[in-house]
Every structure is written in structure tokens, then in C-alpha cells.
Amino acid sequence: MTNEAENARLSPPADLQLENRFKQYIMKYDALMEDLRLVRELQLPQCYIAAGYIRNYIWDELHGYQRRERHNDIDVVYYDASEQSKERDEGLEQALIQATGNGKWSVKNQARMHIKSGDRPYRSTADALSRWPETATAVGARLNGNDSLELCCPHGLIDLFGMVVRRSPLFMDTTYYIGRVKGKGWQEQWPLLTIIEQ
């Protein structure tokens, strides 16, 4: 099975209404769109901006907040089994930092991240995201060559837009998940969230 086929297999049937809404939110966020253009120039395989940068922005929008930049990292994820060195990722991070003056960039090749997580090797970016702790965090976006947005959301968008924090069904460490969610203080920052502690 090819990586692109694996991506498709791990993505649930699209809820077009939520997908279109998600894309509309991203397209009106000029800074995020500029970051997506910059990441596209890296020409990395299966490459997306993902996780808190996007998740927190959507939660802010749903709460009616002004953009607060409440993300610690700009997470760039990609999948390249042919070159898995940490040094490559660090070089890419430095290139992005120098291009933007923003020190929040984090670049991680998901072909090697299973080692940190104690999982079997991941088969694709979507496979890796599907095993992240929360379903609402496992969201990514990229710009293709036609300036159209493409999404990587292996658990769909219902939890993200429903403001539900839920453990991913493929993330088995419930204790870690609960500790992580409490430590992030999300309920205090976004009081409309529903947090499921199981």
C-alpha cells in the first residue's frame, strides 16, 4: 500500500460541511496562510502544519476570542522513511526560524517519531497523527501547488468543532492523556470545552 493510499485509508469519510468550514477559518487567518506557503516551499512529503497552532485557533474562533497566539509551537509534520536524521529536522527548523524570526517552529519527520512514543513504525503522516493523544489535536493542513488547502484529520473534525477533548482511540496511555490535558489548562482557557477523562 502506498503512503498516499494509507493516508486516504486512515482518513474518515469527509463531513464536507465541517471540512469547508475548517478551510474557511484557515483561509481568513493571514499569518497561518503565510506559514503554509512557506512550509510548502520545503517540498517535504506528506507535509502539514498540525496540532496546537491550528487547534487553538479554531477553539478561539468558536469562543469568539480575538486571535491570541496561544500555541507553544508551529508543528510541521511530514513523512520520509528514506531520511530520518534528527539533524535534518533541526536544519529545517533553523531555516524556518531565520526566514520568519519566529522561534516557535518545530519540524518532525513522523517516520522516526514512533521511537519516542514506543509504537510500531508509522506508515504515513496520517498514521502518526491518528496515534496522537487527543482527536482534536490530530488535525493538519497544507497548501498544494494550486493554492488549495488539503487536510490530514484521521479522526475527523467533529470533536474539534464540537469542542470535545477526547483521547484518541489509538492512544492507550489514559494516565498520560489525563495528566497532559490537566497540565495544559485548556478548560480554563476555553471554558466551553467538554473534556472526557477516559
Q: What is the pLDDT of residues 29-66, one digit of tens each?
A: 999 999 999 999 999 999 999 999 999 999 999 999 98
Phi/psi for 106 (5° steps) reads -135, 120
Q: What is the pTM of this model?
A: 0.90
State the average pLDDT over residues 2-23.
63
- Mean pLDDT rounded to a whole number for the chain: 91
State the average pLDDT over residues 167-175.
96
Domain range enclosing 188: 3-195
5: pLDDT confidence band, cut at 50, 70 and 90?
very low
Alpha carbons 122 and 130: distance in angstroms, whole number: 10
Helix (H) or strand (E) holding 49: strand 48-50
State the average pLDDT over residues 108-123.
89
Does residue 186 surpass a pLDDT of 80? yes
- Number of structural domains found in the chain: 1
Rounded to 10 degrees, what is the CA torsion of 101, 104, 105, 111? Answer: 170
- Name every residue whose Cβ is closer than 8 Å to that of residue 64 and which is 6 or more positions away in sequence: none
Does residue 120 surpass a pLDDT of 90? no
Taking each helix axis from N to C terminus, what angle separates 86-100 and 30-40, rounded to the nearest 10 degrees? 130
6: pLDDT confidence band, cut at 50, 70 and 90?
very low
Helices (H) and strands (E) in the chain, counts: 10, 7
